[in-house]
Amino acid sequence: MNLHTFEHLLEKIIFNSRWILVVFYAGLVLCLLILAMKFVQEFVHFASIFWMADESKFLTGILAMVDKTLLANLLILVIFSGYENFVSVIGVAKVSEDRPKWMGEVDFAGLKIKLIGSIIALSGINLLAAFLEIDSANKENLAWMIGVHFTFVVTGFLYAYSEKFNHPKK
């Protein structure tokens, strides 16, 4: 085996190693299914108590479902964009009439921006839910939540700014 043949074989193995990621994306699809079951559980519970719930419990119940919906959106974004960016183009989506507009257009930097934005939104929803139950909330935990949320916001801003600075639009 000469050096050129060995190099070609090594490059082929490295190139095809991207298919190992399919295991991770399949796992995320299963997580999406589990999250959907959790959403249904949350909805059934909410539907059974909403008539008797005070405003705080009512809003907290809605926020819990919004939180799960945003998390599901985040999973879909990671699954679709990650698969298309790192494994292969999703062929069935190319011919589908209801293909999401952003599919195939979100690059790795755009994916990171969307991920950071989603994490900030999820953090904000959890913080709002904690504020709605401020009377029973642990003040130290609330302070930590505010600090973590602030860190996410600052990190998101700095990352977006650095992307804009390093990759200006033409």
Per-residue pLDDT of the chain (170 residues; tens, 9 = 90+): 788 888 999 999 999 999 999 999 999 999 999 999 999 999 999 999 989 988 888 888 999 999 999 999 999 988 988 898 889 888 887 777 887 777 766 777 777 888 888 889 889 888 888 887 777 778 888 889 899 999 999 998 888 888 877 777 65
Residues written for the chain: 170
Question: How far is the CA of 7 from the CAs of 2, 4, 74, in angstroms?
Answer: 9, 5, 38
Which is nearest to 111 in space by CA: 75, 89, 78, 86? Answer: 78
Return d(Cα 73, Cα 157) in angstroms, integer: 21
Q: Which two tokens stand for residue 150?
A: 């602030």
Return d(Cα 127, Cα 138) in angstroms, integer: 12
Which residue's entry shows tokens 């959106």? 73
